[in-house]
Amino acid sequence: MAEGKVRIEAVYKSFDGSNLALENITFEVVDSSLTCLLGPSGCGKSTLLNMVAGFIRPSRGRVIVDDVEVTSPSAQRGIVFQDYALFPWRTALQNVMFGPQIRRLAKKECREIALHYLGMVGLQAHTEKLPRQLSGGMKQRVAIARALANRPSVLLMDEPFGALDAQTRESLQEEMLRIRQLERNTIVFVTHSISESLYLADRIVVMATRPGSIKQILNIDLPYPRDRLSPAFLQLEQGIKQLVREEVRKLGVS
C-alpha cells in the first residue's frame, strides 16, 4: 500500500472547549490522488481542510504532510477558495506571479511560470485583464493557476466550483481532471455535490455530523473519463446519496 502523502491521525477539534466540531478523524491521502471530503453543511469538511492548510490547529491529534506535522500555513500547501480571493488591482498575470514573487524568484522566471499556468487553464488571451473584466469561471481558472504556480506539494480546494452555474461547473471539473493528469498533484477537494465527487475523486470520505466524523470511505474504481449517466456511476451516486441523507436528517433538514 502506498504511503500517505497526507495523514490525519486521531484528530479532534473543539472551538469552545465543550462541543466537538470534529471527532476522531483518521485517514490517509495517497500521493498523486484526488480525495473528496463530502457531507452536509456543518460536518466539518472545511474545518478539516483548514487544518491541512495550517490555518487551524487540532485540539487533539496530528495532521502530517510529507512526514512533517502541520503547525502553520505553507506555500507547499496551495489552497483554492470558492470566492476566488484574487487581488482586484492586479491583472490575471500579476495575480499568478504573486506566489513566485514572494519566493523571490527572478522577475523573468515569475513571468514565465505565470504564463505557463495561465496557458494551462486556457487564459492565454486574458493575461492583462483585471478580475472585474473576467467571468466567474475565468476568475476561478486564475485562482487555480495562482495556486499551481507555487508548485505545491498538496493542492487544497474548498468548494472551488460551488458559486458557478452548472455548465461552467462541469467545464471546470473536466479542466481539473486534465490539469491533474499533467501535474500529478495530490488534491484534497471539499464539496457538497455527490455527482462532482464521483466525477473527480479516486476516494471519497463521506463525513457524518454532530460531531463531524468519518461515516464511510469509498474507493472509486470507475475509469476516467467518467460517464455521469452510466449504470455504474448512477448506482454509486444513489448509494452515496443515501449515506448523506442520513446525516442531513440529523440536522433536521428536509
Segments of the chain with pLDDT less than 50: 1-2, 254
Query: What are the extents of the domains in the chain?
Result: 1-76+155-254, 80-151
The dihedral region occupied by 214, where left means phi > 0, alpha psi between -120 and 50, and beta the remainder, is beta
pLDDT at position 254:
47
User: What's the whole-model pTM score?
Assistant: 0.93
What cell does 102 get? 514572494
pLDDT at position 1:
40
pLDDT at position 79:
93
CATH tag, 1-76+155-254 = 3.40.50.300
Label residue 101 exposed, middle or buried (CB < 10 Å: 0-12, 13-18, 19+): middle
* Cβ atoms of residues 105 and 113 within 8 Å: yes
User: What's the per-residue H, E or C state across the chain?
Assistant: CCCEEEEEEEEEEECCCCCEEEEEEEEEEECCCEEEEECCCCCCHHHHHHHHHCCCCCCEEEEEECCEECCCCCCCEEEECCCCCCCCCCCHHHHHHHHHHHCCCCHHHHHHHHHHHHHHCCCHHHCCCCHHHCCHHHHHHHHHHHHHHCCCCEEEEECCCCCCCHHHHHHHHHHHHHHHHHHCCEEEEEECCHHHHHHHCCEEEEEECCCEEEEEEEECCCCCCCCCCCHHHHHHHHHHHHHHHHHHHHCCCC
